[in-house]
Amino acid sequence: MHLIEATTAPVFDLPGVAFTALASPSRGSAQLCTWKLTVEAGLPPTQPHSLDRDEIFMVTAGAVLIGAEGTLVRAGDALVVPAGTSIQLANPGDVDAEVYVAIRAGFTATAADGTVIGTPPWAA
């Protein structure tokens, strides 16, 4: 077993979104990655990207819009985003949202223009 303590989990900040890195290959999980997103209230849609594996979003507080169509996902909901689907994230609300994400380890992200982003540091 490998404990990732909340107080020592690495946090990666992008404009409007904080990624708290939980399970990943560098933190004891060979097959699964998980992280917590904190999405600032009023965040406009982020730059679109896609992943080569299914990604699951589980909202525990607030609400977020996910995907090009803007599917509203509220606290208590889960959304499965199939591999290859365009992903954008927004928070139209007036409170921060908290979202847990799960995906199979070793995934690759690609920007909408086809630029390969690779695996982000919170999933390494």
9-51 pLDDT, tens per residue? Answer: 999 999 999 999 999 999 999 999 999 999 999 999 999 999 9
Position 94 in a domain? yes
Position 117 in a domain? no
Position 2 in a domain? no
How many domains does the chain contain in total?
1
Position 56 in a domain? yes
Sheet holding 109-111, edge to edge: 49-51, 109-111, 116-118
Predicted TM-score (pTM) of the model is 0.94
- What CATH number does the domain containing 52 carry? 2.60.120.10
Domain range for 93 is: 11-110
Position 115 in a domain? no
With H, G, I as helix, E, B as strand and everything else as coil, classify residue 27.
Answer: helix
As a whole number of angstroms, the distance between CA 30 and CA 23 comes to: 9
Contact 103, 19 (CB under 8 A): no
Q: How far is CA 80 from CA 24, 87, 91, 103, in A?
A: 19, 11, 18, 10
